[in-house]
Amino acid sequence: MADNFESVAIDRIIINGGKKLYGDVYIEGMKNAALPIIFATILTKSKCVIENLPSVSDVILSLRILKDMGASVKYIDDTTVEIDTENFEYGTAPYDLVSKMRASTYLLGAEIGRFQKAKVGWPGGCDFGVRPIDLHIKGFEALGAKVSIESGYINALAENGLIGNQIYFDVASVGATVNVMLASVLAEGLTVIENAAREPHIVDLANFFNTCGANITGAGTSVIKIRGVKKLHGCTYTIIPDMIEAGTFMVAAAAAGGKVTIKNIIPKHMETVSTKLAEMGVDIEEYDDAITVISDQKMNGVTIKTLPYPGFPTDMHPQFSAALCFADGISVVSEGIWENRFKYTDELRKMGANIMVEGKTATITGGFKMTGARVKAVDLRGGAAVIIAALAAEGTSEITGIEIIERGYHDIVNKLAALGADIHKDRVAVSPLNIV
């Protein structure tokens, strides 16, 4: 009998597991470098051409926010965008757009840096437990801004302008480091960030700014010095390759088996991932801008602890957990950044995984039979984890919630299909009562 709810269309990824992967895959520009650079164009007040932009929904959303706020945004080709922020207007970010994405916090730093005031809705993003912004606020306040939170908006005002200062972060936060760089690049005098994040995307942001006439040194170390300049100019800039997309394909090849060459990457950024895969018994061959992964699917368990760069990336742990379900022996995965990043393990358990989570540590006993199931992407990298498990498992998996995966992976279905995976996307009508 029909229920009282109208059916809704949902997109799914269908995977028939057990196919080995062979061939080359090209990696796109890095999402987490593209996002701060897109918002950084606001500080240039002029025209920038950004190349190697990944076509993922978080990037498209960021460009849409800039466009809605008065910037001119033109795609020159699939991966190149011209952004002119001369007519960008402060405080006009649509609430429903910024509340979808964590990187909207970068609007705060960009608006403060350009207008000495900001008004931005509370940011969204993946749910890993509490995601505070106290360090961002501490940074803005050190530069002379007063920050308040009212009716779901974060407001900031630097009545006497922004003046460089020494800022020490208790935690090496990527977002707070980016935001202080955005807020201080045009401030008066010298800003020094101590215990700054050292991720490659921080270096990319500094390189972008310096190409536009900024004076930033030390990016990539834990002390970044930003000497404020009077103005920036536009530039043409190419985003670095995405180490997390690259790592995801490396782990997929390890778990599903086969031989895959990951192209257009910076192998140095992949060191922790390559080393861990080698420790699991997977063969890794490194070239100038590519890595080949050769796997006979015989893997052994390992211990992983995520840490800020150059430690093991938290954004790679779910994918490794998925692969470790197929490895011999016991693995221990400890999360050193986020308080609750193990929601995806419920999905892996539906496929037969033996994973115990206690606090911030998961213990995975490998070798239990993994079979296809109806599973969902609970967050971006958790979604990549279920795809990897489904590629290596026996039988058919149906993955829902794929719009979350599309926030950070462009064309993942076609890229895997080109490597020989039996994978496709479809759209089905379901009753809201049946959505898992």
- Please report whether residue 103 would count as binding ligand UD1 according to CB under 6 A: yes
User: In angstroms, what is the minimal distance from the CB of 356 to ligand UD1?
Assistant: 23
> Out of 71, 181, 262, 337, which residue is the one contacting ligand UD1 (CB under 6 A)?
337
Burial string for 348-382 (b: 16+ CB within 10 Å, else e) reads bbbbbbebebeebebebbbeeebbbbebbbbbbbb
Cα distance between residue 45 and residue 67, in whole Å: 14
Residues within window 156-215 making contact with ligand UD1, judged by CB under 6 A: 171, 173-176, 197
User: In angstroms, what is the minimal distance from the CB of 308 to ligand UD1?
Assistant: 7
Nearer Cβ to ligand UD1, position 64 or 350? 64
Nearer Cβ to ligand UD1, position 19 or 198? 198
Residue 239 CB neighbour total at 10 angstroms: 25
User: In angstroms, what is the minimal distance from the CB of 381 to ligand UD1?
Assistant: 8
Find all residues with CB under 8 Å of 213, minimum gap 6, and list them.
Answer: 229, 231, 232, 233
Residues within window 36-75 making contact with ligand UD1, judged by CB under 6 A: none
- The single-letter DSSP state of residue 384 is H
Cα distance between residue 333 and residue 342, in whole Å: 10
- Please report whether residue 255 would count as binding ligand UD1 according to CB under 6 A: no
- Give me the active site residues, please: 126
- Please report whether residue 338 would count as binding ligand UD1 according to CB under 6 A: yes
For 137, half-sphere exposure in the C-beta direction (CA atoms, 13 angstrom radius) is 12
Find all residues with CB under 8 Å of 259, minimum gap 6, and list them.
Answer: 21, 22, 253, 292, 293, 294, 295
User: In angstroms, what is the minimal distance from the CB of 101 to ligand UD1?
Assistant: 8
* Closest-CA residue to 107 (of 48, 43, 187): 43
User: In angstroms, what is the minimal distance from the CB of 171 to ligand UD1?
Assistant: 4
Nearer Cβ to ligand UD1, position 101 or 277? 101
Closest CB to ligand UD1: residue number: 175
Nearer Cβ to ligand UD1, position 15 or 180? 180
Using CB under 6 A, list all residues that contact ligand UD1.
32, 35, 102-103, 131-136, 171, 173-176, 197, 314-315, 337-338
